[in-house]
Every structure is written in C-alpha cells, then in structure tokens.
Amino acid sequence: MSDIFVPERQRLILPFLEKFYSGFAEPLGWAAFRVTIGVSLIVAGWPKIQAPLAQAGFVESLGMAPGWLFSPLLAAMQFFGGFMIAIGILTRPIAFANAIMLLITLWFHMANPYPEAFFSVEGLAFLQANPDMLTPEAAKALLADNGAMFGMRIQEKAIYASLFWAAGAALIAAFGGGYFSVDHKLKKEF
C-alpha cells in the first residue's frame, strides 16, 4: 500500500528515462514546488511579521480569541513556517498547520464576497475626474458597473489562490520534504 503513488516504471514508453525521472526530475520538481509554496508563504507573511498585532481584531471576528495571541501566532506560522517548508525542516507538521490556516482563508473568501459596488462614491468620483488614470478600455470596464465586475474578478482570484496554496500545503504535509530537504539530510521526519 505504501507504493500506491509510485508510478510503475515498467509502463514507461521510454524505459531508459526512468533514472532521469526518479533521480533528477521528480526530486527536483518536488523541491521546486515545496520552495514555491514556502516562499509564497514568506512573502505573504512578511507584512504580518512587521505588524504582528495588526490582525488581532480580524482573527477575533473569526472566533479566534484572544486576538493578541492568535494574530502573532498566525503571522509566525505563515512567515517562519514558510521558511521551514522552503528548506524542508519539520516539513509535514508545519505544512499541515499552514494547510489548515489556508483552508480557513479559503472559507473566509467564499463566505465573505466583496461588495457588488467595489468602489466607494469618492473613489468613483476620483476616477471619473482623472481620466488619465485609466485607459479607455479600463474606464469603460471599471466605471460602467461601479466596479462590480472588478470586485468579482478579485474575489475569484482570492478564492483560487487560497485553494491552490491550501492544496499545495496539504500535498507537502502528505508527502513530506522530499530528497532535497533538511528532513531528508537528518534522516528524521514527523
């Protein structure tokens, strides 16, 4: 049962590529994926590390009280956890914790869509008074419906980004750091 996800090498159309796949492409591809997820978490977590209490009210609104505790913990999990995923140390538990956080983020974006009128009255007035700020195509698209389509596109991107990063973190939690990881070098893994 442990080999369920290992491809059958006998099924390769070009069997001589087996060593290339197993010795180079698969470990390097997994490391690149793990580093991509980790670095993305670092980048998203950097502003939160700089202001660790900035999201205290927000996390309390999600039921995670006290905010003064959970806001810095989430910031640290995202920033330092991203670093740990990128280098592959304690990879599984850190990736699992980040997957849970990202699933909560996904739920939040799905449960709290952006308002239909994305721009405020003042923002629309500013854009209409400064036509040089937008191309004619952008002005037509943004101003015709008070930014509703713009807001919908941002909403979709927030949902898909959260889904992708949650799935990526979950895959890393399931499969571990891989060959090019500190976990592998230490020959220990959770």
- The segments of the chain whose pLDDT lies below 50 read 1
Amino acid type, 25: A
Contact (Cβ atoms closer than 8 angstroms) between residue 94 and residue 85: yes
54-70: pLDDT as tens digits:
999 988 988 888 999 99
The predicted model scores a pTM of: 0.80
124-145: pLDDT as tens digits:
788 778 878 888 887 777 777 7
| Structure confidence at residue 18 (pLDDT) | 83
- Using alpha carbons, select from 153, 146, 64, 53 the residue that is nearest to residue 105: 64
Count of residues for the chain? 190
Using alpha carbons only, how large is the chain's radius of gyration in Å?
22
Distance CA 102, CA 105 (A): 5
Q: Taking CA 140 as the corner, what is the angle to CA 113 and CA 154, rounded to the nearest 5 degrees?
A: 20
| Structure confidence at residue 2 (pLDDT) | 52
| Structure confidence at residue 1 (pLDDT) | 43
Could you give the 3-state DSSP secondary structure of residue 117?
coil
| Structure confidence at residue 53 (pLDDT) | 94
